[in-house]
Structure 1
Amino acid sequence: MIKRPDCSTDFPEKVTLYEVGARDGLQNEAPLPSQTKVDFINLLSLSGLTHIEAGSFVSAKRVPQMADSLNVMRAISRKEGITYSALTPNIQGFEMALSAQADEVAIFGSASEGFSQHNINCSIDESLKRFEPVMALAQLHNIPVRGYLSCVIDCPYDGPTDANQVMDVARALIDMGCYEVSLGDTIGTGTPIKVARLIETINSHIPHHQIAVHFHNTWGQALPNIYQALSMGIGTIDASVAGLGGCPYAPGASGNVATEDVIYLCQQLGIETGVKLEKIAEAGWLITEALGILPRSNVSLAMKAKKLQ
């Protein structure tokens, strides 16, 4: 017999969708013209989303797809009530995010030592130290900071990640000043039971409202994992229009869970998202056509087929 964690099925009445397609999605796709990105973000801004990750201020050599983030974020048509965020790993990145008028910044760490070394070339402890100047500047400028935590289930280099280690690093990020930590299943090997055990451990020390989940769909488990997280009270879900993205430092990692699929799931569960599925699908069709690929969203493909009938 498998001992299952004690999980409630008390779904939240409303969830926040944190749209990462314009950053985490596009940084792992073919480079696009800046204006295409601007048009994409402007369309997303009409959907009812409240959080859009719009750029990344990292090394252009490592992530050339994001080299134009400053120009893109300066050119978008901002809508009231939407937080436009940017990834900022260091002081230089934070200063560029300020210049781009980012409403929020994000830092990214790892729950596994192997991935930390391969992704940001330092240990977990060293990475936390590196974030301290960024956190100090963010506090000075009254800019909210969100934390990303990679490899919370498994690591491509170290194997299974201990849930207590995830909890420790997440707690450290919150203690530094992050208002929320997004738990990333970077290589998509999570299953509902693994997710339940992780959230059960996390929730023993960190409240629901400070935790988000970020699932990749490499093994087709992203939606079941989100269902599990929702059933345990998690109220913020990271998602990427059309399932764009992956991870260049995690071999075999495919795209993020598709925003369209998450919205449909929430609709069927009676959970409010405040986001218009049709507008999100339109944004997905625009960007995948520009990339020359098909959407990686079953819901998007079904909607497109119905539209063409």
Structure 2
Amino acid sequence: MRTDHLFYQLFQQFPESFFEMIGSANQVENYRFDAIEVKEAAFRMDGAFLPKDNAIDSPIYFIEVQFKKDLEIYARLFSEIFIFLRRHHPQQRWQAVVIYPSRSQDFTHREAQPYAPMLNSNLVQRIYLNELEIPSNSSLGLEIVKLMVEKDTQVPPTVSRLVNRVQTEATNQLEKQKIIEFIETVVLYKLPNLSKEELAAMFATDDLRKTRFAQEMKEEGIAEGKAEGIAEGKAEGIAQGSLAAQKKMILKLFNRDFPVEEIAELVDLSVEQVQQMIAQQSQNNESS
């Protein structure tokens, strides 16, 4: 499952969570979060925290989120960084922060050997989320980060605790709804086969009815279709309620710039099937 899109949203909404992870919580006010594209090589970084007002004493933090083992990750990451440095000539020092769900997704010692000088220096910080300790006074954003690697059985009580924090800490209704919607998105990434009833019970709040995915599932009959499928002994998942609803959801997600791989994960189809549906719709639009 690709999660870079989720982390991009997370760091935009909760920038303090990143600085808590790297042990520099007091720096958050000095930075802005942005996406960086290295056009020469068609690279796009998962994100970067850039010092506000181009402060020279504050380092640039380049972020890479990797939830699957990838033998090219360090070759790609360092290529992106050095091309960026050559293109922009920043005056600040820099640090790369690589976020893994667990240590097992990182390289073995032998595979990482060519990059050892940088990996063993203070230029790179590797974070393993399942080893991340969450202090009692941590931010809401950091707790949502931990939710991404929580065991499935621990998701309901964790969500309940998060929702209670949102109800207590959010300053207005719009902010409350936005945070709950993001938590819901994380839950649906982790547990895409949840029924509408299971999702509602987990959140136990009327605010869930206002979130984007809950509205779409209700309007398009996706959650109802899944419940009917289970009754008939099927196991197609949330997005399998009907072919028409399935196609509609795929196109909506695609138009919102969701990567094809993430759409396939959400609707429980192969990447090839999703690409075929998108291509078919494009052909229909051209012929009409």
Q: Does the TM-score normalized on the shorter chain lie above 0.5? A: no
TM-score normalised by length of structure 2? 0.33
Bigger relative contact order (CA 8 A; separation at least 6): 1
Q: Choose between structure 1 and 2: higher helix proportion.
A: 2
TM-score normalised by length of structure 1? 0.31
